[in-house]
Amino acid sequence: MRTGLFGGTFDPIHNGHLQVVQSAKWLLNLDRVIFIPAGDPPHKTDKVITDKFTRLDMAQLAANIVGAQVSDWEVRQEKKSYSLDMLRHFRSVYPQDELFFIVGADSFRDLPLWWHYRELLELCTFVVVARPDVDKETLLDRFVGDEKPPRVFYLEDVPMDISSTEIRQMAGSGQDVSHLVPPAVLTFIKTHSLYINGGDNGFRKN
Ligand code: ATP
């Protein structure tokens, strides 16, 4: 089987994420895609993020729309988890599968800073999703001459120019975000009074 793994904070999950899944499934002929909401992301420790189980619930609501699955593996980790831990986990669960790690170009750009990133390269093919501020041409520059450069499939023409940060800010200032998130997620955000102060309020802590 060809399995796509899509990690992120998903605070909240939005239509851009869903488009990525649909395109990746189609273009790479993936048999399944699994969203993996982060528990306590190592690179976002300075930010307040919404409770991990709340983010997991929103991911589940959205995943159903595109026939994807959601894994609670990361949110159940008691210590900080790294992408390498996550990939090793899914390698052991699906030993026969080809693993495709879906990441935005913004994240991929920082790959050499990731925990033991060279080991990651052995475990997966990267599906790098174009992002507005990242130059495709220079993305692989730092791997030139490497004995084992990453296997990369570049996904173009997908991204909607939206981010969870913008959605939190818009929702916080009372703007309509119904075109940016699936209806079920919108209802969830309203029902749970998420993002009412643009993010940093008493409802939002890990
Ligand atoms: P934030 O604004 O809170 O940083 P985000 O919208 O970038 O959030 P994440 O949960 O960090 O969402 O995203 C998970 C992955 O999805 C990241 O690799 C990110 O680059 C990618 N991604 C986010 N938004 C889009 C989009 N609109 N189109 C394509 N990829 C996206």
Compute the distance from residue 17 Cα to the ligand 1 centre, in Å.
7
CATH number at residue 43: 3.40.50.620
Mutation pick for ligand 1 pocket among 10, 158, 163 (CB with most ligand atoms within 8 Å): 163
Tokens of 25: 């499934």
Q: What is the DSSP letter of 64?
A: G
Q: Model's pTM, two decimal places?
A: 0.91
CB of 65 closer than 8 Å to CB of 27 = no
Q: Report CA dihedral (178, 103, 158, 35) to the nearest 10 degrees.
A: -50
Kindly report the number of other CB atoms within 10 A of residue 188's CB atom: 19
- Say how many CA atoms lie within 13 Å of 22 toward its Cβ: 14
Instruction: Name the residue at shortest CA distance from atom 22 of ligand 1.
Output: 104
In a domain, 12, yes or no: yes
Position 42 pLDDT exceeds 90: no
Total structural domains within the chain:
1
Q: Which residues line ligand 1 (CB under 6 A)?
A: 8-11, 16-17, 20, 103-104, 106-107, 129, 131, 158-160, 162-165
**Mean pLDDT for the stretch of residues 67-77:** 96
Q: Between 176 and 136, name the one with better pLDDT.
A: 176
In a domain, 127, yes or no: yes
**Could you tell me the residue range of the domain that residue 9 belongs to?**
2-162
Q: Between 161 and 204, name the one with better pLDDT.
A: 161
pLDDT for residue 158: 72
CB of 105 closer than 8 Å to CB of 134 = yes
**For residue 90, what are the contacts with CB-CB under 8 A and spacing of at least 6?**
3, 5, 34, 97, 99
Chain-wide mean pLDDT for the chain?
Answer: 89
| Dist. CA 23–CA 81, nearest whole Å | 27
Amino acid found at 71: S
pLDDT, tens digit, 9 for 90 and up, residues 88-147: 999 999 999 999 999 999 889 988 888 888 899 999 999 999 988 888 888 888 888 888
**Mean pLDDT for the stretch of residues 3-19:** 96
CB of 192 closer than 8 Å to CB of 54 = yes
Compute the distance from residue 26 Cα to the ligand 1 centre, in Å.
20
In Å, how far from its chain's centre is CA 44? 13
Start-to-end CA distance of the chain, whole Å, equals 34
pLDDT for residue 47: 66
In a domain, 46, yes or no: yes
Percent of the chain with pLDDT over 70: 91
In a domain, 181, yes or no: no
| Dist. CA 2–CA 26, nearest whole Å | 12
In a domain, 178, yes or no: no
In a domain, 53, yes or no: yes
Mutation pick for ligand 1 pocket among 10, 14, 17 (CB with most ligand atoms within 8 Å): 17
| Dist. CA 11–CA 36, nearest whole Å | 12
In a domain, 71, yes or no: yes
